[in-house]
Amino acid sequence: MGLRFTKMQGLGNDFVVLDCRTQPFALDAATIRRLGDRHFGIGFDQLLSIEPARDASCAFAYGIWNANGERVGQCGNGLRCVARWLARAGVLGEGVVRLESPSGVVGVELLADGRVRVDMGEPRFDPAAIPLLIDAGAGACAQDVYSIDVAGRETSIGAVSMGNPHAVVEVDDVLIAPVDTLGPQIEHASAFPEGCNVGFAQIVSREAIRLRVWERGVGETLACGSGACAAVAVLRQRAKLDAQVRVRLPGGELAIRWDGPGHTLWMVGPGTFVFEGEWNG
């Protein structure tokens, strides 16, 4: 028997989803890399497993792995696909449903138009929570702007955890931003001991931004849900955005709402089925 899977995508950020509700997840990193190869496997940005919840307050749990085989703490586009998968299976339930992510409990709700509303939790700016290493002389508290060493050059970033680490670089024009060069340099900067996702954000208005994201362990993707949340959180902390923001990514648009510290951040966007298959690799 081959490995049954569902291929899904959220604004072009693509996933392989595995049903692990009755059989435990048993793929090692090498197998995940073969599965994720776009020439010799299926191809994906992230692999998602749907599992029984360990937290009694949650309906299900899910796991996330990048195409390089590394486990990930959160993925906003993937979470919406998990919700759509559970809804099609007839087990999601009505209203806001709690799911157990690798980084904690999140809430999802299937909307009447087929999009998914997701509670991504409250953004965490504490450097230790990201994690972000900064000089003691720079202060150990959260800042709006950090200056870190990137390949021998001081670079200004914002930083936040959305269940996974993010750096945000504000740019004048996202179309010419150095995503493929500066992105991997920041991802592997010594200030981020676990690496990070890197968002390049252009403010269009107080209610709209454009965004490109270099994802940790993947490269540039057409969309990154947690990256969209991170960009809005960082720029809102700088008082440059309103509470409700449209985020335009290469693959499409997400709606983000964050009412500020003390509130969780909500994201609305699609999760789309592509095909079902069986992998015999």
Catalytic residues: 75, 224
Sign of the four-CA dihedral 219, 225, 227, 231: positive
Query: 140-148: long-range contacts at Cβ-Cβ below 8 A with a sequence spacing of 24 or more?
Result: 144/234, 144/237, 144/238, 145/238, 146/191, 148/186, 148/189, 148/191
Task: Decide: 165 and 194 in contact? Cβ < 8 Å.
Answer: yes
Place of tokens 């919406």: 80
Among 4, 17, 3, CA closest to 271: 17
- Tokens coding 114: 């087929």
Rounded distance between C-alpha atoms, residue 166 and residue 192, angstroms: 9
